[in-house]
Amino acid sequence: MHKARALCPPGYDIVELRARGNRHWLIPIGSPGVRWNSLTLYAPIRLTGWAYRALAQAWLVLGKGRFMRQLTHDPTSAWLLGDLLLPDMPTLSTAAVYVGHPGPTQKIVFQLMNNRGNILGYAKYADKPHTRSVLANEARLLKAIPENVGPHLIRFTPFLDGELLVQTRVPGRVRVPRSQQLYEGHMRFLERLVKPGAVYPASEHPFVRSLYAQSAERKSMLERTVSHLKDSEWPTAYMHGDLSPWNMRWWHGDYSALDWEHGRLTGLGYIEAPHPLIQFAGLAQKTDPRRAKRVISDLLRTRLLPERYKNWAPEIASLSALNMLISWYPPSRLEAYGPDPYESWLTTFVKAPGDRR
């Protein structure tokens, strides 16, 4: 936390906001635009979160931030982050700061803005082995992904005791795929990720093989899901890895995505068609996982999968949820933090029967 405060821009009073899990937001009290846009760094999941953010934005813009916890940053001190990035962003003036959960997955995120609050881009700083590795993976993905699916990499460089990744902003707003127009936009996004060329039987696909290598005690669930895919063949694709609704941006009739930290260069085509629906059902709405499996399988069949893959809708829903389980909940994490409600929800989702028609 001390490091995050030291990296705040000088010359600003800083409002500190806190949330569950010992997360922190450091908001500079600059122009009304700076105060308003700084809180877009807080990405709500539930409606209560959206309401809290709107109230906090209004409170700050009206000048009520002086009643919150404030820190005064010495205006004569150096701004190491600004000095580094000014050649890339000549109008850079200030930044809002997010400090994640303490522990091995903690990172610091900076929303970079000019003096009117216009967002210029984002920087992520990591000084722990796990977060340094995911930032390196994101830099690798941002160099490789197609032009129109995510941000551009500005730089990935050593900084202080760790690494700093700097990227452009992704324009647009959060829109959960829940209408025909949004479903079609989601499918166009997934089509842009598919690589031309070879296709693989499901059991021999590089993505599935990589899951087997990591599956540990979940191997039997993976074997059962893959066996149901039988002799179906699938292309490879760039994979985002966490295509949650809050990581997707709707802009001019199409989707793009930010936060490619968990991405893969060789994913399975269309595996992320159900991902935002699964995340929204499980985390935002807390829908019963069995009901969610039936509804999502039906949506995949009728709205989200190309014709040649519609028969495999329940299996793709299961495989997408299994990827989340295997990637996000390895045995080491469960040993360190104990059971997680969402891990249990995903497990029930995978095991639930899909809706076949």
pLDDT in tens, 287-307: 999 999 999 999 999 999 999
Q: Quick one: 141 exposed, middle or buried, by C-beta within 10 A (0-12, 13-18, 19+)?
A: buried
**Does any domain span residue 175?**
no
- pLDDT at position 343 is 93
User: Residue 173's CB: how many other CB atoms inside 10 A?
Assistant: 9
**Does any domain span residue 96?**
yes
| Pick from 10-14, 26-30, 67-71, 144-148: least confident | 67-71
Q: What percent of the chain has pLDDT over 70?
A: 91
Looking at the 3D structure of the chain, how many domains does it have?
2
Q: What angle do CA 203, 205, 209 make, to 5 degrees?
A: 75
**Does any domain span residue 357?**
no
Classify 292 in phi/psi space as left (phi over 0), alpha (psi -120 to 50) or beta: alpha
Residues 155 and 186 in one domain: no
Q: What is the pTM for the complete model shown? A: 0.89
CA 154/CA 206 separation, integer angstroms? 30
CA 263/CA 255 separation, integer angstroms? 17
Question: Checking DSSP bridges between strand 108-113 and strand 94-99, what pairing results, if any?
Answer: antiparallel
Residues 196 and 341 in one domain: yes
Average pLDDT over residues 18-33: 79
CA 199/CA 205 separation, integer angstroms? 8
Supply the range of the domain harboring residue 256: 180-351
Considering only CA atoms, which of 179, 96, 166 is closest in space to residue 135?
Answer: 166
Cβ–Cβ under 8 Å, residues 316 and 300: yes
Q: What angle do CA 288, 291, 296 make, to 5 degrees?
A: 115
What CATH number is attached to the domain comprising 250?
Answer: 3.90.1200
Q: What angle do CA 204, 205, 210 make, to 5 degrees?
A: 100
Q: Token pair for residue 34?
A: 């700076």
Q: Which of 124, 144, 168 is the last residue of a domain?
A: 168
**Does any domain span residue 173?**
no
Q: Which of 140, 168, 196 is the last residue of a domain?
A: 168
Residues 213 and 290 in one domain: yes
- pLDDT at position 2 is 65
Average pLDDT over residues 17-44: 80
Residues 30 and 164 in one domain: yes
- pLDDT at position 23 is 78
**Does any domain span residue 290?**
yes
Between 36 and 154, the more confident residue is 154
pLDDT surpassing 70 at residue 104: yes
Residues 284 and 337 in one domain: yes
Between 339 and 206, the more confident residue is 206
Considering only CA atoms, which of 87, 39, 77 is closest in space to residue 59?
Answer: 39
CA 42/CA 17 separation, integer angstroms? 10
Residues 209 and 304 in one domain: yes
